[in-house]
């Protein structure tokens, strides 16, 4: 087989695993048109259609899936072998991909990465924020970060942050127009700023707990985002009530820019955990684990 076919197969694997020419091109550091030409040339040489494409997604054909299942493990073995050899260098190096959510990335991952790269500049770390419950094995992530209660039982989980309270807040200007809620049921009469969940396309149901009683509220309102920063910004502008981690709003509450309500209904969340498959981690990954390990 011609040597260039090997690079074409790597391109095919990237597109199939990412389910996207755009993401695969970014991963391979080539342009999207160049990647599309590579796949077309491979299909022409083999005389088979390997991928089906539409405006929203990419998926392997039956022939493409068979080829991927056959050659994929061999390329994975090559990558693992190269990573093992690289790990033998004097300085740890290599790439790590982590799926996380914005709050954990801002408060835990980013500070740890800053410290880690200061000592080990040859390490490369990619953090993707996504509220979906990502299959890190299928999506080729080295690890994920989610709340402890969200992690599958077949994963190794390491606590990387403390438990925290989820709190309901609104700006003084909002409460000048609306009376504060006395119970979570009162939220039906309020404008709430929602978090959009990509897994189902729905909105996050707000959990409340009081005296052992649990209650979930499907809050309604004119605004929904998939970013904590936007929820906070619009709450500060008086556009509605926001349900956010306590550390995100405590400075604004202390300064009077936000007012906390329903404090006796605030649930204690189980804290963020790093999770990864049951396999021997690389020395580079072991450094990340130690940098993130929660020490109360």
Domain boundaries, the chain: 3-86, 94-162+271-292, 164-269
Task: Pick 168 or 67 by higher pLDDT.
Answer: 168
Nearest to 105 by CA among 128, 133, 80: 128
High-pLDDT (> 70) share of the chain, %: 90
pLDDT per residue as tens digits for the range 74-124: 766 766 666 666 555 556 778 899 999 999 999 999 999 999 999 999 899
pLDDT attached to residue 217:
93
Cβ–Cβ < 8 Å for 269, 208: no
Q: Which residues contact 200 (CB under 8 A, 6 or more apart)?
A: none
* Most confident of the following: 30-34, 134-138, 290-294: 290-294
pLDDT attached to residue 1:
47
pTM metric for this prediction: 0.70
pLDDT per residue as tens digits for the range 223-274: 999 899 999 999 999 999 999 999 999 999 999 999 999 999 999 999 999 9
Tell me the CATH number of domain 3-86, given options 1.10.8.50, 1.10.3720.10, 1.10.10.10, 1.10.606.20.
1.10.10.10
Give the architecture (CATH level 2) of 94-162+271-292.
3-Layer(aba) Sandwich (3.40)
Q: Find the helix packing angle between 3-18 and 21-28, rounded to 10°.
A: 130
pLDDT per residue as tens digits for the range 5-25: 678 888 788 888 888 888 888
Q: 3-86 and 94-162+271-292: same fold?
A: no
Task: Pick 289 or 22 by higher pLDDT.
Answer: 289
Task: Pick 34 or 103 by higher pLDDT.
Answer: 103
Cβ–Cβ < 8 Å for 11, 28: yes
For the chain, give the mean pLDDT.
Answer: 87
Lowest mean pLDDT among 66-70, 155-159, 206-210, 278-282: 278-282
Task: Pick 88 or 150 by higher pLDDT.
Answer: 150
Cβ–Cβ < 8 Å for 92, 122: yes
Average pLDDT of span 33-62: 82
Give the architecture (CATH level 2) of 164-269.
3-Layer(aba) Sandwich (3.40)
pLDDT attached to residue 58:
84
Which two three-digit tokens encode residue 112? 């740890």
């Amino acid at each position: 087989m011609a040597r260039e076919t090997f690079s074409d197969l790597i391109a095919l694997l990237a597109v199939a695993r990412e389910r996207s020419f755009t993401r695969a091109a970014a991963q391979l550091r080539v342009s999207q048109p160049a990647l599309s030409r590579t796949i077309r040339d491979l299909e022409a040489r083999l005389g088979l259609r390997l991928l089906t494409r539409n405006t929203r997604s990419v998926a392997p054909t039956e022939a493409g899936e068979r080829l991927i299942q056959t050659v994929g493990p061999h390329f994975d073995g090559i990558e693992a072998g190269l990573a093992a050899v690289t790990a033998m260098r004097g300085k740890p190096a290599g790439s790590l991909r982590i799926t996380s959510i914005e709050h954990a990335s801002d408060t835990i991952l980013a500070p740890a990465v800053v410290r880690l790269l200061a000592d080990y500049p040859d390490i490369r770390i990619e953090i993707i924020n996504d509220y979906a419950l990502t299959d890190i094995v299928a999506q080729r992530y080295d690890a994920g970060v989610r709340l402890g209660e969200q992690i599958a039982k077949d994963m190794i989980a390491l606590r990387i942050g403390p438990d925290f309270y989820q709190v309901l807040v609104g700006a003084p200007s909002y409460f000048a127009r609306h009376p504060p809620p006395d119970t979570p049921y009162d939220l039906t009469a309020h404008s709430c700023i929602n978090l959009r969940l990509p897994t189902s396309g729905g909105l996050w149901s707000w959990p409340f707990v009081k005296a052992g009683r649990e209650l979930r509220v499907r809050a309604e309102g004119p605004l929904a985002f998939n970013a904590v920063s936007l929820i906070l910004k619009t709450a500060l502008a008086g556009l509605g009530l926001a349900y956010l981690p306590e550390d995100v709003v405590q400075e604004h509450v202390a300064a009077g820019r936000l007012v906390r309500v329903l404090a006796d209904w605030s649930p204690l969340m189980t804290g963020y955990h790093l999770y990864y498959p049951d396999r021997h981690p690389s020395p580079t990954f072991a450094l990340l684990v130690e940098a993130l390990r929660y020490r109360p």
